[in-house]
């Protein structure tokens, strides 16, 4: 897994890339929780995530729960392919917002 | 200060070499046989001090977490056991940092000498011989001898060579001892995991006779599992069952599995509506769950005589009903997994779905099945259906065993825990 972080319109946008699984979720967790610690609103760009397993989802859930506690915003953007299937099957769209694109958020 | 690389010397006299070899042999043998490295190290220090005629001797060990050196053993007029130096401080520190044996003839005029321990103890250091306790890859500390007790009061090259040889032997012994300790610790952890696995296994129900309507199998990918299943027979003949998959792998998933499985067994005795039962379990888990951990889970209740079920699915893989005609019906989750939010649905009750078996078979499984590698690629849902189609004539237990064997025959080890449950309507002759 690789990632890059940028700031856009007041959001910290973390673009994850590759497989977010048991091996990489620890690093992803650190990156996401660091943003929560800084009290930043967070969007996770999932457009280049090819695979996510339950460890990876746990890391998203934890970041969401911590954001909620911190009173900051959290959302996923451009979830594709297998990752979308996994999140939809688990009905996680009922837990955190999933946007099709960053422009959709700006429009809303 | 002089170090061992400054010049190459040989023993200037063969006199006393027998005594040295005896000492080296005794100390090496002691370390090889030692069951208590600390005791052997202390005893060896006494022998070295005596053989090399030093007024005092000490062993300093590195404390990596605190970046300091602590005096573990000391022999001499003042006991400095417990004294601390910063990493790199004093002749001991320099000997360790440079990984070389250092000899100081006049400590007071040596810039690297640290007087802090003398200041505290009142002892006066004049000459020093210090050799690191190190192997090729590890550094443990150093042995320091203070004040040669001979007319000129100086250690010499012979002393240096002897101390260097003795500390090498001691360092190897420390290394072996620590490796043994690490192996013992590994063995202890392994045994604890075995106990955890035994306990987990006891949480799963025992296999039932072939005409029982529910059969299931659980294969952990590692020693302990995050998957679980269970069923309880109610007095009215109905059977309440569950299957679950805790996010993640390892001991944290195994502990949450144990908690969730226990909650099901406890609450399932009094709450017989799947949506309510799942809601109650969710409420309990949410109160204490942490680090984003969650459980995808299905709770259901089966009327084995009517062949009807009601299930509540919390974010779990959709169960597959293979109908009598060989068609497949899927029952996707209507709510997210357990352990994330308490207000997932009105009143915290999970939505339910009704299923009529009508002589079909319901397969409920964890993603270890569909993501399991068969050949060189994940089985996938279509591959799973094809496999089920090919074994419809087999008994329920044979079908489960066949599927588990397929994954075991794969060259790839199990990637995830695998749990598969099969629910079948009892035929007429088994109905009571």
d(CA B364, CA B318): 7
Q: Find, in chain A, the residue whose alpha carbon is nearest to that of B331.
A: A89
pLDDT exceeds cutoff 50 at B12? no
Tell me, what's the pLDDT at A103?
77
Min Cα–Cα distance to chain B from A48, Å: 20
- Report yes or no: B63 and B69 within 8 Å, Cβ to Cβ: yes
Beta carbons of A89 and B317 less than 8 Å apart = yes
Burial annotation B411-430 (CB, 10 A radius, 16+ → b, else e) = eeebbbbbbbbbbbbeeeee
**Across all residues in chain B, what is the average pLDDT?**
88
Tell me, what's the pLDDT at A1?
80
Question: Up-side HSE of residue B144: CA atoms within 13 Å toward CB?
Answer: 31
Is the alpha carbon torsion for B273, B279, B281, B283 positive or negative?
negative
- Let me know if domain A2-107 sits in CATH 3.30.750.24: yes
C-beta atoms surrounding B108 within 10 Å: 11
Higher-pLDDT residue of B130, A27: B130
Alpha helix segments (H runs only) across B323-422: 367-370, 380-389, 396-409
Is the alpha carbon torsion for A14, A20, A24, A30 positive or negative?
positive
B338 DSSP 8-state letter: B
Average pLDDT in the A21-26 region? 83
Residue B386, CA distances (Å) to A84, B203, B392, B416 in order: 25, 32, 11, 21
Average pLDDT in the B384-396 region? 90
- Report yes or no: B424 and B208 within 8 Å, Cβ to Cβ: no
The pLDDT tens digits for B101-123 are 999 999 989 999 998 888 888 88
Average pLDDT in the B122-148 region? 94
- Report yes or no: B407 and B372 within 8 Å, Cβ to Cβ: yes
Min Cα–Cα distance to chain A from B407, Å: 19
The pLDDT tens digits for B184-199 are 999 998 888 888 888 8
- Report yes or no: B164 and B138 within 8 Å, Cβ to Cβ: no
Interface test with B, best of A23, A52, A90 (most B CBs within 10 A): A90
Chain B residue set in contact with A, beta carbons under 8 Å: 245-249, 291-294, 296, 315-318, 332-337, 340-341, 344, 367, 416
Tell me, what's the pLDDT at A72?
92
Nearest to A54 among B247, B334, B335 (CB): B247
Tell me, what's the pLDDT at B254?
87
Residue (of B424, B208, B211) closest to B307 by Cα position: B424
The pLDDT tens digits for B49-65 are 999 999 999 999 999 88
Binned at pLDDT 50, 70 and 90, residue A25 comes out as confident
Residue B42 is encoded by which pair of tokens?
A: 């202390």
Residues 6 or more apart whose CB falls under 8 angstroms from that of B427 comprise: none
Tell me, what's the pLDDT at B431?
40
HEC-encoded secondary structure of A2-59:
EEEEEEECCEEEEEEEEEECCCCHHHHHHHHHHHHHCCCEEEEEEEEEEEECHHHHHH
Chain B positions in Cβ-Cβ contact with residue A64 (cut-off 8 Å): 292
C-beta atoms surrounding B221 within 10 Å: 18
The pLDDT tens digits for B232-260 are 999 999 999 999 999 877 788 888 999 99
- Let me know if domain B204-430 sits in CATH 3.20.20.70: no
Residue B150 is encoded by which pair of tokens?
A: 């001979």
Q: β-strands B2-3, B102-104: how paired? A: antiparallel
- Could you tell me how many CB contacts below 8 A there are between chain A and chain B? 60
The pLDDT tens digits for A35-81 are 888 888 999 999 999 889 888 999 999 999 999 999 999 999 999 88
Q: Quick one: fold of B2-182?
A: Beta-Lactamase (3.30.450)
Residue ranges of chain B that CATH labels 3.30.450.40:
2-182
d(CA B214, CA B302): 9
Nearest to A90 among B246, B296, B341 (CB): B296
* pTM value > 0.90: no
Tell me, what's the pLDDT at B3?
57
Nearest to A62 among B292, B318, B367 (CB): B292
R_g of chain B, CA atoms, integer Å: 35
Tell me, what's the pLDDT at B427?
63
Chain A positions in Cβ-Cβ contact with residue B416 (cut-off 8 Å): 53
Average pLDDT in the B312-334 region? 95
The pLDDT tens digits for B84-107 are 999 999 999 999 999 999 999 999
Q: Find, in chain A, the residue whose alpha carbon is nearest to that of B291.
A: A62
Nearest to A55 among B247, B315, B344 (CB): B247
Beta carbons of B247 and A57 less than 8 Å apart = yes
Please report the ipTM that was assigned to this predicted complex: 0.89
Tell me, what's the pLDDT at B13?
47
Tell me, what's the pLDDT at B411?
66
pLDDT exceeds cutoff 60 at B38? yes
The pLDDT tens digits for B265-304 are 999 999 999 999 999 999 999 988 777 899 999 999 999 9
Tell me, what's the pLDDT at B2?
60
Tell me, what's the pLDDT at A108?
65
Binned at pLDDT 50, 70 and 90, residue B11 comes out as very low
Tell me, what's the pLDDT at B121?
84
pLDDT exceeds cutoff 60 at B9? no
Binned at pLDDT 50, 70 and 90, residue B429 comes out as very low
Higher-pLDDT residue of B148, B31: B148
């Amino acid at each position: 897994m690789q990632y890059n972080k940028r700031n856009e319109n007041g959001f910290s946008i973390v673009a994850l890339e590759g497989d977010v699984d048991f091996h990489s979720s620890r690093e992803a967790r650190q990156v996401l929780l660091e943003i929560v610690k800084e009290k930043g609103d967070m969007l996770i760009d999932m457009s280049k995530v090819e695979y996510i397993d339950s460890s990876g989802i746990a890391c998203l859930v934890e970041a969401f729960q911590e954001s909620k506690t911190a009173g900051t915003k959290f959302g996923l953007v451009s979830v594709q392919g297998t990752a979308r299937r996994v999140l939809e099957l688990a009905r996680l769209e009922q837990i955190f917002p999933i946007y099709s694109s960053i422009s959709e958020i700006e429009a809303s | 200060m002089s170090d061992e690389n400054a010049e190459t010397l040989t023993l200037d006299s063969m006199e006393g070499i027998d005594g040295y070899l005896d000492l080296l042999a005794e100390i090496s043998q002691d370390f090889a046989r030692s069951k208590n490295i600390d005791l052997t190290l202390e005893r060896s220090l006494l022998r070295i001090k005596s053989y090399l005629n030093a007024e005092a001797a000490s062993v300093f060990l590195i404390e990596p977490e605190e970046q300091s050196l602590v005096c573990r053993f000391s022999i001499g007029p003042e006991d400095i056991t417990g004294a601390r130096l910063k990493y790199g401080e004093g002749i001991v520190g320099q000997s360790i940092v440079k990984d070389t044996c250092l000899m100081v003839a006049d400590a007071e005029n040596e810039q690297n000498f640290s007087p802090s321990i003398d200041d505290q103890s009142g002892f006066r250091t004049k000459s020093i011989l210090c050799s690191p306790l190190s192997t090729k890859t590890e550094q443990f500390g150093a042995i320091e001898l203070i004040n040669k007790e001979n007319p000129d009061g100086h250690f010499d090259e012979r002393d240096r060579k002897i101390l260097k040889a003795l500390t090498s032997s001691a360092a190897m012994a420390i290394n072996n001892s620590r490796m043994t300790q690490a192996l013992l610790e590994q063995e202890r952890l392994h045994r604890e995991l075995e106990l955890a696995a035994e306990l987990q296994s006891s949480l799963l129900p025992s296999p039932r006779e072939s005409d029982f309507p529910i059969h299931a199998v659980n294969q952990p990918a590692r020693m302990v599992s995050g998957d679980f299943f269970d069923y309880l027979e109610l007095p009215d003949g109905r059977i309440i069952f569950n299957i679950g998959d805790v996010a993640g792998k390892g001991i944290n998933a195994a502990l949450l599995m144990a908690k969730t499985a226990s909650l099901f067994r406890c609450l399932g005795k009094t709450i017989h509506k799947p949506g309510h039962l799942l809601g109650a379990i969710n409420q309990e888990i949410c109160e204490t769950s942490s680090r984003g951990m969650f459980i995808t889970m299905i709770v259901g209740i089966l009327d084995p005589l009517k062949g009807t079920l009601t299930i509540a699915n919390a974010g779990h893989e959709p169960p597959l009903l293979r109908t009598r005609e060989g068609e497949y019906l899927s029952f996707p989750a209507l709510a997210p997994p357990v352990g994330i939010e308490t207000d997932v649905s009105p009143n915290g009750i999970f939505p339910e779905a009704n299923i009529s078996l009508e002589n079909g078979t319901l397969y409920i499984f964890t993603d270890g099945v569909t993501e399991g590698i068969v050949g060189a690629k994940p089985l996938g849902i279509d591959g799973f259906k094809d496999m089920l189609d090919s074994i419809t004539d087999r008994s329920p237990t044979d079908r489960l065993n066949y599927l588990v064997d397929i994954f075991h025959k794969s060259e790839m080890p199990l990637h995830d825990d695998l749990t598969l449950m099969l629910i079948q309507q009892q035929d007429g002759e088994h109905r009571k």
